[in-house]
Structure formats: C-alpha cells, structure tokens
Amino acid sequence: MPDIVILNGNPSSTSRLNGLIEYAEQALRQKGFAIEQIRVADLPADDLVRARFDSPAIAAANQKVEKSHGIIIASPVFKASYTGILKAYLDLLPQKGLQHKVVLPLFIGGSLAHLLAIDYGLKPVLSALGARYILSGVYAVDQWVKRLHEGGYSLPEELTRRLDESISELGSAIRRLAIPSFTN
C-alpha cells in the first residue's frame, strides 16, 4: 500500500516538473515512505473527458489515492492555473476523496507571476474534495530547473532547501496525524 501518491498532472513527459517530482520521490523514499505515481496523462483520455466514474483505470487510480496517507499534486502552470487534465481527474475523485490526507502541491511555471495559482486555483478544489491538511507547497520557475545531458535534473540550492522543508513537513504531518496503518 502506498503511503504517498504523486498525482502528476503534467501532459508532457519531458517537463522540468519531473525534476521536482524526482527530487521529492527520492527524498521521501529515503525517509521510508512508499511512493506511487499516477500520471494523469496515462489514464484513458476518453474516460477523463467523458467523466467515466466507472472506468476501471479511474477506479484503480482512485483506490490508490484512497489508500494513501499523503498526496503530492504536481502540475505545470498554464494560463494562470494547473492543467486541465489534472482538473479532469480531480473531478473524478469521490466527494471526500482527499479527506484525512496530507496534501503537498508542487507547481512549476514560466515566471513568478503565477505563484498564487496554488492558493487561488488549486486549494479551493482540494478543500471541496475534503482536504483539510493542505501544506503551502512549492512553486518553481522553469528556468531554475536545468536538464542534465546525462539525464536527470539539476536544482538550485534555494529550491532544494524549500523542497526539503516541504517534504519534511509532509512526512511529519503524516506521522503527527497518527494514521493507524503507518508503520515507519
């Protein structure tokens, strides 16, 4: 059973957002958490667009979310908001699908102008889904994340410091909430 599910709302598999996700995933694994990633773009598009709540793929993704203790919601910012594909999936979560979950947003955008996309775009939707433990999140600018020729990404010290703080806060919040099935 995954302790933390990463909802990757990125339609592109080559985005610099992957640098944030990979960093978070590695840090959480080192802290003893089991991680599972749901790439929303890999879910059947027809099921997302037609809101097929009974889709086996959607049901399987929802079950992973239900069994998790924490959720990382990762998205690039397009047109001052998170991606439409992420919204399409969030619409298919049960009404209280994020109740009793600790949620950490990780966003990346072209400039700091969309920094508040987490607060004004994402957090109201998360609240509507029952989330009460929403961490402040991390917003990064594309140009801060460098692709390495040999693969992977390089993140500046300031960004890794903020990620480390948020990841630590996520782990502490999960443990502090004394979720009965957490065994670390």
Domain ranges of the chain: 2-176
The pLDDT confidence band at residue 2, using thresholds 50, 70 and 90, is low
Q: Tens digit of pLDDT for each residue in 66-78?
A: 999 999 999 999 9
Q: Which of the four pLDDT bands, split at 50, 70 and 90, describes residue 178?
A: low
**Contact (Cβ atoms closer than 8 angstroms) between residue 9 and residue 24:** no
Helix (H, G, I), strand (E, B) or coil at 29: helix
More confident residue, 178 or 171: 171
> d(Cα 126, Cα 50) in Å, to the nearest integer?
21
pLDDT of 162 above 60? yes
Mean pLDDT of the chain: 94
Tens of pLDDT, residue by residue over 6-54, are 999 999 988 999 999 999 999 999 999 999 999 999 999 999 999 999 9
Give the pair of three-digit tokens for residue 39.
Answer: 């790439």
Q: How confident is the model at residue 177 (pLDDT cuts 50, 70, 90)?
A: confident
Which superfamily, per CATH, for 2-176?
A: Flavodoxin domain (3.40.50.360)
pLDDT greater than 60 at residue 179: no
Predicted pLDDT of residue 180: 53
Q: What are phi and psi of 180, to 5 degrees?
A: -55, -35
Q: What is the enclosing helix (H) or strand (E) of 146?
A: strand 146-147
User: Token digits for 134?
Assistant: 């929403």
**The whole model's pTM is what?**
0.93
Model confidence at 81, in pLDDT bands (50, 70, 90)?
Answer: very high
Say if residues 159 and 17 touch (Cβ distance below 8 Å).
no
